[in-house]
Amino acid sequence: MAAYMTLFLATDARACEHFMARWSRRLAGPFLDFAGVKVGDRVLDVCCGTGVITAALAERGCAVVGLDASESYLEGARRDRSHPNIVYEPGDARRMSYADASFDACVSALAMDVIPEVDQVVREMRRVTRCGGTVASGVFDFWGGFSPADLVCDTASVLDEGMRSVRDRRKARPIVWANGRAALWRETGLVDVVEAPIVISFDYASFEDYWSSFT
DSSP three-state, residue 195: coil
**CB hemisphere CA count around 54 (13 angstroms):** 29
- Residue 194 near residue 132, CB atoms below 8 Å: no
Q: Which domains does the chain have, with CATH numbers?
A: 10-140+177-204 (3.40.50.150)
194 contact partners, CB below 8 Å, separation of at least 6: 182
Would you state the pLDDT for residue 84? 97
pTM, to two decimals: 0.87
Q: What are the pLDDT digits (tens) for 91-146?
A: 999 999 999 999 999 999 988 888 888 889 999 999 999 999 999 999 887 777 77
Residue 51 parent element (H or E): none
Would you state the pLDDT for residue 8? 54
Q: Of 133, 148, 125, whose CA–CA distance to 202 is shortest?
A: 148
**Other beta carbons within 10 Å of 112:** 22
The arithmetic mean of pLDDT across residues 189-198, rounded, is: 90
Would you state the pLDDT for residue 9? 66
Would you state the pLDDT for residue 158? 92
